[in-house]
Chain A
Amino acid sequence: MMDGIKLDPASQPVKAPAMKKTISLIVNGFQRSVEVEARTTLLDMVREQFGLTGAKLGCDIQVCGACTLLVDGKPVSACSVLAVDADGCEILTVEGLSAKGKFHPLQEAFMEFGALQCGYCTSGFILTAKALLEEYPRPSEQQIRDYLAGNFCRCGCYQEIMQAVKNVAGS
């Protein structure tokens, strides 16, 4: 504080009562407990409190899919899900896909077919594709397109992404 200036106690920022909650969830297979503010999004929680930065903030309005995470196996836009709303759920981020240092077949295929350039959308695409293959183990081309239609790749690697997913699906 600068010398000679007295701080008016009334001018001090008043901290609003913290509206916080401790939630329990499974993140990438590990049971975790964490205190979050009610307004914290699931994306902010995994990125900032767990350091899992694979999912990115893109459009912030559930359009682009860069922030896709799997909640109880289903793709959601983590930018628009409240962390408190995921209490008790199982969360999978792209970091949880590889087991014992071995990449998931989808990750291998994305590399093999060059299904990315900048990589910003990649974790969202791979997680959505994982959910697709859990639901439809042998998807048709149309099913893949419908399922992935809400994930955007501004580098335009759609052909390569389709090839990679089709390759893993064996279709």
Chain B
Amino acid sequence: MKNFDYLEPTTIAQACALLKQHGGEAKVFAGGSHLTILMKQGLYQPKALVNIKKIPELKGIKYDAKEGLTIGALVTHRELETSALVKEKFPVLCEAEKEVANIRVRNMGTVGGNLASGEPLTDLSQIFISLDGKAKITGSNGQRIIPVEELFVDFYTTSLGEDEILTQVVLPPLPARSAIEYIRFSSSSVVDKPSAGVAVRLTLETSSEAVQAARIVLGCVGATPVRARRAEGLIMGKKLTLALAEEAGGIASEECSPTSDLRGSEQYKRAIVGTLVKRTASKAYEQALGNA
């Protein structure tokens, strides 16, 4: 690993100023689980690391009935997994986190880093997108809030500017008659990165069993997580039967662009996506019917 300056700002403003000063030659450092590996491999050779772990505003998880769940960028995977508040409001996150990498990565790796790394083989992003999550971002020119979906541009590339920091993720409260399901599929050991991960969130109409809003988000099968918008359109306004869920799965499997690699061939991953969409959508629909 090449050496670098190690900077430890204590406010977001200081951190943004340091990033700006280095003009793209500095990297934001939090848990380091992604960054240190790429630096050891020589893929990243930043002149400076801006450690944001001493910035208190970036920590913690809180819930507000109006705004929803706010997750600070520095919250670790393990904190999310074991948080009683998260378990109460969005248990899907705790369940998903149990399968993220291993206990050591979950202890160090942060939610902010997970998103800001632009790593395509991940779980959180598709869940956040299905929940209409927002990313709060601060740069030297102020704050902006974007849908989590708009963070991702390409493999390991996000829409974050050189002097910007992802500060929080906000998940709005789940509407009534809604449910979310997430299933990840790993083709080798349980601690491997997923070969596909599908999140489905459904909201039903108040006076019928028809789907009023659908989010079908496919992860790990392309440069960025993607919403299967045609599959979403198919089930809108309808009752979700198993046949319809299967049809949606078939459409969704064509709405992603998986690459053949050690975690499965392109064809294999498309088949997995189809099955996962069918299963997650069916489970979410059943649950939503039960949620008043």
Contacts and interface: CB of A to CB of B under 8 A. Distances in A.
Contacts of B49: 38, 82
B101 interface: yes
Among A41, A77, A81, residue most surrounded by chain B Cβ atoms (within 10 Å): A77
Interface string A138-154: 00000000110111000
A16 B189 CA distance: 43
Interface in B42-73: 49, 51, 53
Contacts of A38: 3-6, 49
A74 interface: yes
A76 interface: yes
Q: Dominant SS at the A interface?
A: mixed
Interface residues of B, number: 28
B197 to A, nearest CB: 18
B145 interface: no
A2 to B, nearest CB: 31
Interface stretch (A58-66, A96-104, A158-166): A58-66
B103 A80 contact: no
Given A41-B36, A76-B107, A85-B53, A146 B4 contact: no
B33 interface: yes
A150 B2 contact: no
Contacts of B190: 149
A123 interface: no
A80 B5 CA distance: 17
Interface of B: 1-6, 29, 32-33, 36-37, 39-40, 49, 51, 53, 78, 98, 101-105, 107-108, 189-191
